Amino acid sequence: MLTVPVRQLGESERRAVERLLDLDPFAGAQVAERVAARGLAWWRAEGRVLGYGTRRHLESVCWLGGNLTPVLASEPAVAAYADLLAGEERLCSSIVGRADAVLGLWDRLAEAWGPARDVRPNQPLLATDALPVVPADPEVRRVRSGEIDRLFPAAVAMYTEEVGVSPLADDGGRSYRRRVADLVRAGRAYARFVDGQVVFKAELAVVTRRTAQVQGVWVAPEWRGRGIATAAMAAVVRDALLRAAPTVSLYVNDFNLPARRVYDRCGFRPVGTLATVLF
């Protein structure tokens, strides 16, 4: 029997949750952004925040919404989360977080929640707090509200290539388009346009007081191999550091060697390893 049960956390424990998330600002960035925006009250949040540990000593949290994200989850915490979640219907589309916790959860949940569409066990987590030494592409800029229609096809292409399914499948892309539009209006979407077409794009998908996390990096297929990605990423990192957060972070598939070389040139350094289970 578990001696420290998992419980759903409420607003009264928000400070404890925020202190814990500060201990892992890069891997816990998505959870930190949601807590900062919505708090922990169940009627405001887009998911549940589960906690492991006593009320006097919170050891770990786990976000359960569109994604399942464990943060600072030790082996006993992973076992406790899995014991609770195995009895629930899977509603999340992925499990993502530090590799040891994600793979430990999947080992325990696979029978109840499987099969997975894909398991990516080794995704280097990278971060930088320094302006890139490589020149930034002056043509990479924040996307304007009137350019959403131009950006959206590139965003769909990126998502389909990266995740393996189209974001248009469930509702014709309405929810994904809202997400893209929200990022544009928040000044968190970047692109380089050539003759009105997007040849490079990236977003600050998560912004907290500790880091801006880049996702959705994409180069149009016909522009790949021309060496535009390094300068383009340098422009994104430079703007994010000057305007959004004291660090920039991202994670990348270990097999994506061209992207890893770009990030290395832009000053990113390893800060851990993530894993993702996709459904």
Q: Is residue 276 part of a domain?
A: no
Q: Is residue 257 part of a domain?
A: yes
Domain match, 88 and 146 both: no
Q: Is residue 75 part of a domain?
A: yes
Instruction: Report pLDDT digits (tens) over 136-166.
Output: 999 999 999 999 999 999 999 999 999 999 9
Domain match, 243 and 165 both: yes
Domain match, 265 and 161 both: yes
Q: Calculate what percentage of the chain has a pLDDT beyond 90.
A: 91
d(CA 102, CA 79) in angstroms, rounded, equals 11
Cβ atoms < 10 Å from Cβ of 205: 18
Instruction: Give phi and psi for 126, each to the nearest 5.
Output: -125, 155
As given in the structure block, the two tokens for residue 219 are: 């180069």
Domain match, 253 and 169 both: yes
254, pLDDT greater than 60: yes
Smallest Cα–Cα separation from 233: which of 153, 150, 133?
133
Range from 54-58, 59-63, 222-226, 254-258 carrying the lowest mean pLDDT: 54-58
Q: Is residue 128 part of a domain?
A: no
d(CA 121, CA 100) in angstroms, rounded, equals 9
Residue with tokens 């006097």: 56
4, pLDDT greater than 80: no
DSSP letters, 113-151, are H---SEEEEEEEEEEE-S--SSPP-TT-EEPPGGGHHHH
Domain match, 97 and 185 both: no
Domain that holds residue 151: 140-271
CATH number, domain of 167, equals 3.40.630.30
Smallest Cα–Cα separation from 210: which of 15, 29, 69?
29
Q: Is residue 160 part of a domain?
A: yes
Q: What strand order describes the sheet that includes 67-71? A: 6-8, 48-53, 58-64, 67-71, 94-98, 269-278, 118-128, 248-251, 212-219, 197-207, 189-194, 141-142
| Global confidence as pTM | 0.93
Domain match, 227 and 177 both: yes
Domain match, 166 and 89 both: no
Domain match, 190 and 108 both: no
Domain end point (choices 49, 80, 114): 114
Residue with tokens 């977003």: 203
Domain match, 179 and 259 both: yes
Domain count, the chain: 2
